[in-house]
Amino acid sequence: MKITLKDGSVREYGEARSVIEIAADLSEGLARAACAGEIDGEVVDLRTMVDRDCALNILTFADEGGRAAFRHTASHIMAQAIKRLYPDVKLAIGPSIADGFYYDIDSETPFTAEDLEKVEAEMKKIVKEALPLARFTKPRAEAVAFMEEKGEPYKVELIEDLPEDAEISFYEQGEFTDLCAGPHLMTTKPVKAFKLTSLAGAYWRGSEKNKMLTRIYGTAFTKKAELEEYLQRIEEAKKRDHRKLGKELGLFMMSDEGPGFPFFLPKGMELKNTLLDYWREIHKRNGYVEISTPVILNRHLWETSGHWDHYQENMYTTVIDEQDYAIKPMNCPGGILVYQSEPRSYRDLPLRMGELGLVHRHEKSGQLHGLMRVRCFTQDDAHIFMTPEQIKDEIKGVARLIDEVYSLFGFKYHVELSTRPENSMGSDEDWEMATDGLRSALDDLGLPYVVNEGDGAFYGPKIDFHLEDSLGRTWQCGTIQLDFQLPLRFELEYTGADGAAHRPIMIHRVAFGSIERFIGILIEHFAGAFPTWLAPVQVRVLPISDKYLDYAGKVAAALSGAGIRAEVDTKSEKIGYKIREAQLQKLPYMLVVGEKEEAEGRVSVRSRWNGDEGQKSLEAFVADVTEEIKNKENRAAAKVE
Catalytic center residues: 332, 361, 379, 381, 383, 462, 508
3 state DSSP class of 611: strand
**What is the DSSP pairing of strand 412-418 with strand 449-452?**
parallel
Name the DSSP class of 369: B
For residue 218, CA distances in Å to 96, 133, 157, 398, 543 come to 9, 20, 25, 39, 51
The C-alpha atoms of residue 265 and residue 256 are separated, in whole angstroms, by: 16
Residue 264: CA count within 13 A, CB half-sphere: 18
**What is the DSSP pairing of strand 539-543 with strand 566-568?**
parallel
3 state DSSP class of 599: helix
CA 236, 241, 244, 247 dihedral sign is positive
The C-alpha atoms of residue 127 and residue 193 are separated, in whole angstroms, by: 10
For residue 370, is it left (φ>0), alpha (ψ between -120 and 50) or beta?
A: left
The number of residues making up the chain comes to 641
- The amino acid occupying position 407 is S
The C-alpha atoms of residue 463 and residue 481 are separated, in whole angstroms, by: 6
**What is the DSSP pairing of strand 36-39 with strand 42-44?**
antiparallel
The closest alpha carbon to 337, from 187, 166, 489, belongs to: 489
**What is the DSSP pairing of strand 412-418 with strand 589-593?**
unpaired
The C-alpha atoms of residue 124 and residue 120 are separated, in whole angstroms, by: 6
The C-alpha atoms of residue 194 and residue 81 are separated, in whole angstroms, by: 13
Residue 346: CA count within 13 A, CB half-sphere: 13
Q: Is 247 exposed, middle or buried (0-12, 13-18, 19+ CB in 10 A)?
A: middle
Contacts of 110 (CB under 8 A, 6+ apart): 214
For residue 567, which phi and psi values (nearest 5 degrees)?
-145, 160
